[in-house]
Amino acid sequence: MIRRDATGADGKPAWILISQVEHARVSAEVAQHWGAGGVLPLEPRDELLTTIAHHDDGWAAWEERPSIDPAHGRPYDFMEMPLEEALPIWDRSIAVAQRLAGPLGGWLVASHFCVLLRRGRDAHPHPAVYVERADAWLAADDEHRARWLAEWQRRNPARHTAELADRGLAQLQMFDALSLWFCCADRETPKRLATPAGPSIVLSPAAGRAVAPQSAAGDTGQTIRVAPWPFTVPAVELSASGRLVPADRFADASALAAAPSQLVRLAWVLQPS
């Protein structure tokens, strides 16, 4: 879950809670039209689009009753998840990707979470129980990834190369990071995004509010100027739904579910610079 800082209609601090499943859908919307301006297109396209769209499906059950951080009384943001809760979510996400997109889908999502866990484990010292749990999961994950990659390569040895799989992983990570940039906060400064084996692109938020014509009056959005233009269409419209709740201290998931809330829609219009 993404816990985005916001302000309620009463002027008090609030959060917009955005599902990881919704964030992954936005990732796939960005990927759908990717492939112009010198950036590399998705290949194999169907498997990659399916994987990108569903790489966080394992969060769905947890997000129906999200855990509350006892130290702060707030729902966990995805960056704050205890490892013992995150790993089963990742396992479910990997299983969905493998079921929907075959061995490459399983390999991609397993590799994505492997990178995240190794990065987090090495970022700073952790208790021994954390390191043991992380290392055990990584060892099992490495076995699964090796089996899935070999199975995918056997299906078409000439085309299904390790280099192509690695490029697909880099693209999944790129679209994941780009969707998080949109979903986690309002942006005021440009972002430079490296693309796999292609040019860097710069995303520059335009001043003022920009919402697609069909949006409700309470929705909020931004125009983002992009250069060089990497999409195969003249403009890209994106949106994500979330739940606005007061930034209170909650005792448990039931208290959060009972809190007053409002559905909100965030919108972005991407245009060439």
Spell out the per-residue pLDDT of the chain, length 273, in tens: 999 999 998 999 999 999 999 999 999 999 999 999 999 999 999 999 999 999 999 999 999 999 999 999 999 999 999 999 999 999 999 999 999 999 999 999 999 999 999 999 998 899 999 999 999 999 999 999 999 999 999 999 999 999 999 999 999 999 999 999 999 999 999 999 999 999 999 999 997 554 433 333 345 679 999 999 999 999 999 999 999 999 999 999 999 999 999 999 999 999 999
- DSSP at 226: E
| 183 CB neighbour count, 10 Å cutoff | 22
H helix or E strand, kind and range, residue 15: strand 13-18
Token couple for 248 = 């209170």
Q: Are 194 and 240 within 8 A, CB to CB?
A: no
For residues 173 and 180, what is the distance between their CA atoms, to the nearest angstrom?
11
Which residues sit opposite 231 in a β-bridge?
34
Q: Is 126 left (phi over 0), alpha (psi -120 to 50) or beta?
A: beta
User: Domain segments of the chain: what residues?
Assistant: 2-186+243-266
Answer yes or no: are the C-beta atoms of 16 and 250 closer than 8 Å: no
* φ/ψ (deg, to 5) at 246: -65, 145
pTM assigned to the model:
0.94
